Amino acid sequence: MFLFDNAISMPARIVGMIEADVPIVHLDRTIFHPTTGSQRADRGCIGSAQVLAVAFDGGEISHYVNSSNGLEVGAEITLQLDQDWRHLQSAYHSAGHLIASAMRQIDQRCTVLFGQHYPDQAALTLHSANQIKEGHIKELNDLLQHFIEQNLIVDIGLESGTRYVRFGGLEAIPCNGTHVDTTGELEKIDVIRHEYDGERLRLYYVTYNRT
């Protein structure tokens, strides 16, 4: 469900539970995005239980909760995301896409290797044979500001069974993460530092939601 929807609350049915020190809940559908190498998991509640972690385990999404009190298989319960936390993850994840697009306008041959869109340690790693300079970072940040001012609409869809995301007229990128609805939700994206390891370029960044 999280794949196409930015809903923050939804009813769901419990289809499985594993009792443990940290109980695990399986649902017939979910709005909780699991943790990935590039994005932190959602936080929130299943009924009155607090969701501590969300993981994609063996083809299904496991919700690790603080207590199984009041939860039982077959029950209809309400899922509630921590909205501020979700917005922050979506902002950082979306900023990563925009930095990649802006970088390709500066160095057309660069390619993204991976992104870690964690709010406290966000960085995008690219292969970039052309050594970019401080002047390029200024150009990059100006382009990012331009993307924000254009208030690009974020389009999510399926192409040949693969989920993609597209920011305005920028290129479509295969992605399963969560995103802002428009780039105007972001106040600012700042690439604050860059470092090279051979031809591997790492760009450290911060972003802020418009409040």
**Footprint (CB under 5 A) of Zn ion, residues 112-171:** 165
Q: CB 184 → Zn ion: shortest distance, Å? A: 17
Could you give the CA distance from residue 81 to residue 105 in angstroms, rounded to a whole number? 36
Q: Which is nearer to Zn ion, 65 or 95 (CB)?
A: 95
Instruction: Give the total of residues touching Zn ion (CB under 5 A).
Output: 3
Could you give the CA distance from residue 43 to residue 190 in angstroms, rounded to a whole number? 26
Q: CB 71 → Zn ion: shortest distance, Å? A: 31
100 is a contact residue toward Zn ion (CB under 5 A): no
> Comparing C-alpha atoms, which of 98, 50, 17, 164 is closest to residue 41?
50
Q: Which is nearer to Zn ion, 47 or 177 (CB)?
A: 177
99 is a contact residue toward Zn ion (CB under 5 A): no
**Helix/strand/coil for 112:** strand
Q: CB 179 → Zn ion: shortest distance, Å? A: 6
DSSP code string of 39-96: SPPP-EEETTEEEEEEEEETTEEEEEES--TT--TT-EEEEEE-HHHHHHHHHHHHHH
91 is a contact residue toward Zn ion (CB under 5 A): no
Q: CB 115 → Zn ion: shortest distance, Å? A: 8
> Comparing C-alpha atoms, which of 177, 209, 191 is closest to residue 139?
191
Q: Which is nearer to Zn ion, 179 or 194 (CB)?
A: 179
175 is a contact residue toward Zn ion (CB under 5 A): yes
Q: Write out the residues near Zn ion by the rule CB under 5 A.
A: 165, 175, 177
